[in-house]
Structure 1
Amino acid sequence: MTMKVLYGAAPDDVKGYDTQRLRDAFLMTDLFAADRVNFAYTHVDRLILGGAMPVETRLAFGSGEDIGTPYLLFAREMGIANLGGTGTIAVDGETFTLENRDVLYVGRGAREIVVSSLSADVPARFYMNSVPAGTDFPHRLITRKEAKPLDLGDARRSNKRRLAMYIHPEVSPSCLLLMGITDLAEGSAWNTMPPHLHERRMEAYCYFDLAPEDRVMHMMGRPEETRHLVVANGDAVLSPAWSIHMGAGTGPYAFVWGMTGENQEYNDVSPVAVADLK
């Protein structure tokens, strides 16, 4: 298990960043390496994001050594989304089977997590978000069919999409973590339109189901001074509360969104008019 540390940045600092420094601060690449567990600990609301792709072997993790606690989820909760083939997750001996687009909520206090794939030819790809938690909730598997769908956007504006809520008070309760998956409709390219800010919550995105040759142009930064990241399949982006977040893909794609902060009010946002972006 590896644990990279990301410190984030203040909006005034980002004004002077070149492309590589911006990527180093806000982009996590190579999350899904065969038979490895990779995590990034960010000081942006102390979110941990990670990826695991078991191919030939089972992968176990849970040590809290890197974050100074007896075990990783000693004071944390976690959401795990399967973005690949069928896989299993054992949480302290309790085993869950996850198909593609299923999500497992792991409550505070879990000591050991073991992930594996049903087939090495089509391995599971487990994407993880973990945030501090002050309340205990039971582990729960939320299948793709159990997620709550919301249809958003307009085909005429190339932003028609379906948002599926998984870890959310209306589906599966948690302490502070929210997590879901958004799919773009055929022919649409733009996500999260119109753009907005949510000062009381940060967000993280993992873009997936992109073809190798495609990229998502992820827009970030203050509305009056935007920046962009070029994102490949399986890359994850940190979006601090002061930053807008929207993007467009050169081909079909989907993304996992995860949020944490002061509340779980999905609509607690401050819209930004596209005409005001610079």
Structure 2
Amino acid sequence: MTMRVVYGAGPGDIDSYGTERLRSEFLVENLFRPGRIEFAYTHVDRLIVGGAVPTDKPLAFGDGADVGTPHLFTAREMGIANLGGGGTIIVDGKSFALANRDILYVGRGAKEITLASDDAAEPARFYMNSVPAGADIPHRLISRAESKPLDLGEERRANRRTLRMYIHPEVTPSCLLLMGITDFAPGSVWNTMPPHLHERRMEAYLYFDLAAEDRVVHLMGRPENTRHLMVANGDCVISPAWSIHMGSGTGPYAFVWGMTGENQAYNDVSPVPLESLR
């Protein structure tokens, strides 16, 4: 297991950033490596993102040395989304079977997590978001069928999409974490349109199900001072509360969104008129 640290930056810092600096501060690559667990710790609301691809043997974690506590979950909660083949997650001896696009909520106090794939030839791809938590909430598996779908966008604007809430007060409770998955209608490519800011919450975007040759052009920054990131399959964008977050793909894709901050009010946003973007 490895743990990278990402410190983040303020909106005034990006004026001096070239491509590589911008990517190093806001883009996490190579989370999904066969037979490994990869984590990245960001000082943006102390979010941890992670990826794991168990193959011929299970992978386990839970030690808290990297966060200064006895266990990783001593003062944290986590959502784990399966973006690959069928798999199993064992939390302190309790087993949960996850199909593609199921999410497991792991509450504060867990000691050890074990991840396994049903078939090493078609392994599970577990994506993780973890944030500090101040309440004990039971672990819960949320299947895709149990998520709450919201149909958004318009075909004429190429942004029709279905946003599914999994870890959300209307579906399953958590302390501070929100998490869900967005899929697009055929022919639609724009996400998070129209753009907005939510100054009281940061967000992480994990783009997946892209073809190897495709990219998402992810726009970030203040509305009057935007930058872009070229994002490949399995890359994660760290989006601070001060930044817009929107993008368009060169081909089909989906993304996992995870948020944390001062509240769990999904609609607590400030819209940004498109004509104000620079």
**TM tier relative to shorter chain:** over 0.9
SS of the aligned residue for 2:16 comes to coil
Equivalences for 1:9-20 in 2 at 5 Å? 9-20=9-20
Q: What's 1:253 paired with? A: 253
What letter is aligned with 2:255? F
Q: What's 1:163 paired with? A: 163
Q: Aligned-residue CA RMSD in angstroms?
A: 0.4
Unpaired segments ≥5 residues, structure 1: none
Instruction: Return the offset for 1:184.
Output: 1.0
Q: What's 1:107 paired with? A: 107
**Whole-angstrom CA distance in 1 between matches of 2:151 and 2:218:** 21
Q: What's 1:22 paired with? A: 22
Question: Is 1:5 aligned with 2:5?
Answer: yes
What letter is aligned with 1:125? R
Show structure 1 runs of 4+ deviating over 6 A. none
Q: What's 1:152 paired with? A: 152
Q: Deviations over 1:187-238 (max 9, x none)?
A: 0010000000000000001000001110000000000010000000011000
Q: What's 1:195 paired with? A: 195
Instruction: Return the offset for 1:56.
Output: 1.5
Question: Is 1:81 aligned with 2:81?
Answer: yes
SS of the aligned residue for 1:156 comes to helix
SS of the aligned residue for 1:10 comes to coil
SS of the aligned residue for 1:15 comes to helix
**Whole-angstrom CA distance in 2 between matches of 1:38 and 1:120:** 18
Instruction: Return the offset for 1:3.
Output: 0.3
Instruction: Return the offset for 1:159.
Output: 0.5
**Whole-angstrom CA distance in 2 between matches of 1:70 and 1:200:** 30
Q: What's 2:222 paired with? A: 222
Q: What fraction of aligned residue pairs are identical, expressed as a percent? A: 73
What letter is aligned with 1:264? Q
Corresponding residue pairs, total: 278
What letter is aligned with 1:40? A
Instruction: Return the offset for 1:181.
Output: 0.1
Q: Deviations over 1:210-267 (max 9, x none)?
A: 0111000000000001000000001100000000000000000000000000000000
Unpaired segments ≥5 residues, structure 2: none
**Whole-angstrom CA distance in 2 between matches of 1:244 and 1:203:** 10
SS of the aligned residue for 1:23 comes to helix
Q: What's 2:132 paired with? A: 132
**Whole-angstrom CA distance in 1 between matches of 2:28 and 2:237:** 6
Q: What's 2:51 paired with? A: 51
**Whole-angstrom CA distance in 1 between matches of 2:97 and 2:233:** 24
* TM-score, normalised with respect to structure 2: 1.00
